[in-house]
Amino acid sequence: LCAAVLLKDMKLLDVKLGQLPSWLAMRDFTPGGIVGAIRRGYDRYYNKYINVRKGGLGGISMVLAGYVVVSYIWSFSHIKHDRHRKYH
């Protein structure tokens, strides 16, 4: 039996490109909704990579890689102006 899933209950990966605008219109973009989405994402990450019986370096290395990327983006304008330029 194939049950029809409502568009608002679909995950982003299951949404077709033509349905994307109406799916985005159904999302909750209030501050509480955004905080809830961040919390759900953190909980999924924590339960998948950190809160496991036999953990590895995967979860922590992803956090460190994300930190490196974000810190580079934040300091890019400063790095760009401090570059040594070749004078000729």
Sorted by where each begins, the domain ranges of the chain are 1-53, 56-87
Burial of residue 22 (number of CB atoms within 10 Å: 0-12, 13-18, 19+):
exposed
For the chain, the residue count is 88
pLDDT of 17 > 60? The answer is: yes
Q: In this structure, what token pair is assigned to residue 37?
A: 């989405």
Reported pTM: 0.57
How do residues 35-85 score in pLDDT, each as one tens digit? 999 999 999 988 888 787 777 787 788 889 999 999 988 887 776 666 666
Per-residue model confidence as pLDDT tens digits over 23-43: 888 888 999 999 999 999 999
* Long-range interactions of 83-88: CB distance < 8 A, separation 24+: none
- State which amino acid sits at residue 36: G
